[in-house]
Amino acid sequence: MLSLTEENYLKAIYHLSDGGSKAVLTNELAEAMNTKAASATDMIKKLSAKEFISYEKYYGVNVTHKGKVEALMVIRKHRLWETFLVDKLGFNWDEVHEVAEQLEHINSSRLIEKLDEFLGYPKVDPHGDPIPDNKGKIKAQPQLPLDQLKKGYLGKIAAVKDSDSNLLKYLDKIGAKPGTKIKILGKEDYDDSMEVLIDDHRVFISKEVSQNILVSE
Amino acid sequence: MLSLTEENYLKAIYHLSDGGSKAVLTNELAEAMNTKAASATDMIKKLSAKEFISYEKYYGVNVTHKGKVEALMVIRKHRLWETFLVDKLGFNWDEVHEVAEQLEHINSSRLIEKLDEFLGYPKVDPHGDPIPDNKGKIKAQPQLPLDQLKKGYLGKIAAVKDSDSNLLKYLDKIGAKPGTKIKILGKEDYDDSMEVLIDDHRVFISKEVSQNILVSE
DNA sequence: AATATTTTTTAGGCTAATCTAAATTTTTAT
DNA sequence: ATAAAAATTTAGATTAGCCTAAAAAATATT
Ligand SMILES: [Mn+2]
Ligand SMILES: [Mn+2]
Ligand SMILES: [Mn+2]
Ligand SMILES: [Mn+2]
């Protein structure tokens, strides 16, 4: 059993390590958690003692298999709750993250299975992020940030970065939501801004924005 | 802002005081919270400093108006979540209390208003307990424990005590749920057991059980 | 009214999660 | 290869919520 704080640290480590594929440094973790390095070190020791991460002094931490599964369960809950808030309660997609940050710590496997069923076993959350199944498996579709593609590209929006509420409001306004077709009509070499076709609407977007739109196909 | 622990203490004080109508003693509170008297005293001082309760040393505590409203908001959330779990997720009524104990601490007024709307503004929870509105108002219908009535009584089940999961399972089995008509066919003076008609079924119930069925009309 | 019992409070400690400041180790720059 | 800089860890406090043991106050009993 992890405390709420331990769950949050572990989730942050999982995300910062790109799903367990690289080591996470103490300062990175402290910054992500809005705490100080000394606090991060303390928590690293605790999670390491419980074998959710492996830790070599001064060289950062890696998530263990056990840690990955645990982190994915929290992420599963977060994304199911976000889906519930948008699909059932009518929240906008820029309003759900903070509430889901609380709901993800509710501890009841029965609840989360029932919720999953109630939502119709969704594969992705409102921002297009995949929802792990109850074993921690994720159906990862290969995704690319839009800014790395060039004129003429035609594909589908797979997901958007869900961190900034204002960005989400803007993306909503221009119709950029997961599942929508998108085409790059032109790209400006100087600043990587581009003109795109989203849902038959022509829009100019900056690199700032295109970096946060993930496409597939 | 109250911590989760403060919310739980305040709710316990509210319930033990019968909605603010009598003083609550330190030992009572400690027992209800499964802590020791010293811990209860500590918390009493904190809640008193924040003016959710008034406190006279050695003579127990009373809930203030501010404290009542706060407690009722937690109770509102608890009962709305219980309703959600039963009505939408298909939980049995004996499975919801523990989960609702966690969910009642989620802090988002938007969430609770949306949830209320989603549920169709229910007036009572699955156990028949009234759900306070967002101002803390409760529509209290006068209720009596069934064991205090005699042969020939005809009325409706208003609520059942929701504390014991095994009792709830039993009540479910005999069809004793809020809204159901109930008639006392006979009562045994010796032990106050009775034969009742619930939903056209004849059932013998002990005083143990009839005490926990609240009727109205 | 004095004493015994019960209840409540206080004193002093413990753990989790945080901090600041100091010490240590690694990394970078000369 | 040293010295300076940066990153990390350790040491020592603090706060919330809990505990046990002791002191104090209220209540009950003789
Ligand atoms: Mn989110
Ligand atoms: Mn999301
Ligand atoms: Mn309940
Ligand atoms: Mn209830």
pLDDT digits (tens, 9 = 90+) for A80-105: 999 999 999 999 999 999 999 999 99
The whole-number Å distance from B58's CA to D26's C1' is 8
Residues 118-177 of B with CB under 8 A from A: 118
pLDDT of residue A16: 98
Report the separation in Å between the CA atom of B98 and the middle of ligand 3, taken as the mean of its atom positions.
7
Rounded Cα gap, residues A190 and B189, in angstroms: 94
pLDDT digits (tens, 9 = 90+) for A199-211: 889 999 999 999 9
Q: Which residues contact A2 (CB under 8 A, 6 or more apart)?
A: A10, A50, A52, A70
Q: Which nucleotide is nearest to A58 (CA to C1')?
A: D8
User: Would the pLDDT of A163 be above 90?
Assistant: no
The average pLDDT across B80-93 equals 98
Report the separation in Å between the CA atom of A6 and the middle of ligand 1, taken as the mean of its atom positions.
18
- Given a contact cutoff of 8 angstroms between Cβ atoms, the answer to whether B44 and B26 are in contact is yes
Closest CA to B133 of B178, B72, B88: B72
Q: What is the pTM of this model?
A: 0.95
What percentage of chain B has pLDDT greater than the value 70?
100
Q: In this complex, do A102 and B103 lie within 8 Å of one another by their Cβ atoms?
A: no
User: Would the pLDDT of A140 be above 90?
Assistant: no
pLDDT of residue A87: 98
Distance, in angstroms, between A6 CA and closest chain B CA?
A: 17
Rounded Cα gap, residues B80 and B77, in angstroms: 5
**Dihedral angle sign, alpha carbons of residues A89, A95, A97, A101:** negative
pLDDT of residue B144: 94
User: Would the pLDDT of B112 be above 90?
Assistant: yes
Cα B128 to chain centroid, rounded:
9
What percentage of chain B has pLDDT greater than the value 90?
95
pLDDT band at residue A217 using 50, 70 and 90 as cut-offs:
confident
Partnered with residue B157 across adjacent β-strands are B215
pLDDT digits (tens, 9 = 90+) for B136-165: 999 888 899 999 999 999 999 999 998 889
Rounded Cα gap, residues B150 and B133, in angstroms: 34
What percentage of chain A has pLDDT greater than the value 70?
100
pLDDT of residue B163: 81
Q: In this complex, do B106 and A103 lie within 8 Å of one another by their Cβ atoms?
A: yes
Report which residue type is found at A107: N
Closest CA to A80 of A36, A19, A121, A28: A121
B90 shares contact with chain A (CB less than 8 Å):
yes
Identify the closest residue of chain B to A114 by CA–CA distance: B89
Helix or strand (DSSP H, E) at A38: helix A37-49
- Given a contact cutoff of 8 angstroms between Cβ atoms, the answer to whether B14 and B7 are in contact is no
Identify the closest residue of chain B to A81 by CA–CA distance: B111
Closest CA to A66 of A21, A10, A22, A17: A10
pLDDT of residue B140: 80
A15 shares contact with chain B (CB less than 8 Å):
no
